[in-house]
Amino acid sequence: MNFFRRWHAHHEFRHHFGHGRHGHAFGRAADGFAHLLLARVGAKLDLDDGQQRRFASWLEQLQQQRDALKSLVGGPELANLFAEQQFARGPAQQLFDAKLDALRAAGPGVITAFAEFFDSLDAEQQQVLRFMMRRLNRHSRGDA
């Protein structure tokens, strides 16, 4: 394990995307992260304009899903669950189920957007993407 390389990657991410004194890395800075991801992946895979648009479409779908999940924990409906003496389990379950239904409804769009992007890649680009995903998976597990 190369400690400095991991620290430097973490430091670069924090420097560009938040973790300021009060921020979180995936606040509004996530929009900047999406643009950086689009630029970096686009450069690594040498994407043409059509592929770039498909990748951006997929990232937009993911952002919408993220926003939907974020609304689950920050909306006034959640605050109402704590307003009474006892936690409102029934309304909490209804709120949770409604959010899951919204995610399920949007899921096919996310899958379709990624499938269109992936299918637009040539064999070499697909192989590079697979390699990038393996590295990302290994790094997220701490195997790097």
Write the DSSP assignment of 86-100 as a string of letters.
Answer: S--HHHHHHHHHHHH
User: If phi over 0 gives left and psi between -120 and 50 gives alpha, with beta otherwise, what is residue 48?
Assistant: beta
Is the entire prediction scored with pTM above 0.75? no
Q: Which residue has the tokens 């991410």?
A: 13
Q: Which residues contact 117 (CB under 8 A, 6 or more apart)?
A: 51, 54, 55, 57, 58
CA distance 34 to 26: 10
Other CB atoms within 10 Å distance of the CB of residue 54:
20
* Tally of structural domains, the chain: 1
pLDDT at 26: 47
Cβ distance 69 to 99 under 8 Å?
yes
pLDDT at 65: 84
pLDDT at 1: 43
Structural domain that includes position 93: 3-141
pLDDT for 17-30, tens place per residue? Answer: 444 444 444 455 55
pLDDT for 16-64, tens place per residue? Answer: 444 444 444 445 555 677 888 888 888 999 999 999 999 999 999 988 8
